[in-house]
Structure 1
Amino acid sequence: MDDKEFIGKYISYLHRYAMIYLEKELKPYDIGSGQFSFLMHLYRMNGVNQESLSQSIKVDKATATRAIKRLVDEDYVFRQRDEEDRRSYRVFLTEKGRSIEPDMKKIAAEWQNVLLSDFDEGQRKDIMNSLETMFKNVSKLM
């Protein structure tokens, strides 16, 4: 297989550039790219169990714990014992965390616009469908 034909190379490049972009954009908020996906998930499902949050984002528990700790330290989220399972915690946005939601969504939208800028609406839908299919394929394997 020719190096140019290996799709993983481009996926890796896109991921690294996304992390660089997020680090730059998130710097004023004192959070890193590693916390971004946690915030975005909490905007959709505030108060989710920490373990299910890590499963949804596809990271291990230790990574989730570190990311959430940083968000707690910066007062974007707080943890509360889960009433249904006293061994676990639920994660909630603070007022400060909710207040930056428009900014976080704008950062996400701007990055998506960069990625998809040269594609028409039909191509954008095809790309999203293809990425979803690739994710499903990998999920079956894992």
Structure 2
Amino acid sequence: MDLSQESKATFGKFISAVYWQRNSFFLKRFNKFNIGCGQYRFLLNLYLQDGITQEELSSKLMVDKATTARAIKKLEEEGYVSRSVLEEDKRAYKIMITEKSLSIKKEFFEILDEWENEVMRNLSVEEKKSLLHLLEKIASSNIS
């Protein structure tokens, strides 16, 4: 199916609007922890899989290594993560969450739930399933 220029612009407009709304929401909510909208995704993935390498984190989040390094550096400066050199590869860093991270974990996930509930509040169960399926499909198309 070929989309008209107007439809293409509308798709991009809505994706952009959701992106900026999400950033604004998380910027406000995570500000009290000195976590920016650029770092929360990294901390989330570390909560789910503590002790992975920076390279693994970059791959999981589909971002370049420099972006990961900057985010981890900020989280480390704030005391939320620590890095250690891997014994088997001195060029690689293992990232671990700290006690400070654990102390905010419950509220961190409450903020994520609040966002998802807010975004999905006007959708039926079927619409939610369909939307998630379509977004997953788009995200996995691996466009570079």
Instruction: List gaps (5 residues or longer) in structure 2.
Output: none
Aligned: 1:75 with 2:79:
yes
- 1: distance between equivalents of 2:105 and 2:19? 22
Check 1:28–1:78 CA distance in 2 against 1; reply closer, same or farther (3 A cut): same
Q: Which residue of 2 aligns with 1:128?
A: 132
1:49 to 2:33 alignment = no
The number of residues matched between the two structures is 140
Q: Which residue of 1 aligns with 2:104?
A: 100
The verdict on how the C-alpha distance between 1:54 and 1:118 changes in structure 2, with shifts beyond 3 A counting, is: same
Amino acid of the structure 2 residue aligned with 1:55: S
SS of the residue corresponding to residue 34 of structure 1 reads coil
Q: 1:91 aligns to what SS in structure 2? A: strand
Identity %: 36
Cα distance between partner residues in 2 of 1:50 and 1:89: 6
Q: Is 1:26 matched up with 2:1?
A: no
* Cα distance in structure 2, aligned partners of 1:46 and 1:18: 25
Cα distance in 2, alignment partners of residues 52 and 4 from structure 1: 33
In structure 2, the CA distance between the partners of 1:111 and 1:83, relative to structure 1 (3 Å rule), is: same
2:43 corresponds to: 39
Q: 1:3, CA displacement in angstroms? A: 5.8
Name the residue aligned to 2:18.
14
Secondary structure in structure 1 of the residue aligned to 2:88: coil
* Runs of 4 or more consecutive aligned structure 1 residues displaced over 2 Å after TM superposition: 3-6
Query: What do residues 2-59 of structure 1 show as CA deviations (whole Å, max 9, x unaligned)?
Result: 2686311101111011111111001110111111000100011000011110121121
Q: Match for 1:130: what amino acid? A: L
C-alpha distance in 2, partners of 1:14/1:7? 11
TM-score by length of 1: 0.93
Which ranges of structure 1 fall in alignment gaps of 5 or more residues? none
Q: Quick one: distance in 1 between partners of 2:113 and 2:8?
A: 28
Cα distance, 1:63 vs structure 2: 1.1
Structure 2 CA distance for aligned equivalents of residues 76 and 35 of structure 1: 10
